[in-house]
Amino acid sequence: MKKVFSYQTAIGKLTVAENGEAITNLYFQEEAVPQDVIYEETELLREAGLQLTAYFAGDRKDFDLPFAPQGTVFMKQVWEALLTIPYGETRTYREIAEAIGSPTAVRAVGNANSKNPLSIFIPCHRVIGSKGELTGYLGGLKAKQFLLELEKRRKC
């Protein structure tokens, strides 16, 4: 049974879930949290909350937490590639497809990106369209813009 706890952030309430060993999901305010969870702030969730707070304050550029996102082998390949995008930088869907050795899988990369269960922790907000445009984001385009601007300001 997963445990979850919510944290208020600059982009709204974020709910983090864990399975007893690793962080499994991050839910945005607008997302439905599964009903079969226990609301309890564990040590791991507390640490995730502290790291999120530091990230939003501009004091943390990456996360040091155990993650266990659920997805296909391809999705996990994409998510691993997202973790290589440096703080404050962006990549296109095509660049991610090329990075994982599937240059024609641009749409599949976009699909995997949209199913990332650990947004912010696994920085799918750093992926943009081929012409530099912001594309869909589960937390909304305003949140994506905020995260990109936060990182750009604090990149130094």
The amino acid at residue 22 is: A
Which residues have a Cβ under 8 Å from the Cβ of 57 and sit 6 or more positions away?
Answer: none
Cα angle: 72, vertex 77, 78; to 5 degrees:
100
Residue 124 catalytic?
A: yes
Catalytic residue, candidates 4, 45, 118, 124: 124
Other C-beta atoms lying within 10 Å of the C-beta of residue 62: 12
Q: Identify the bridge partners of residue 27 per DSSP, sorted by sequence position.
A: 15
Catalytic residues: 124
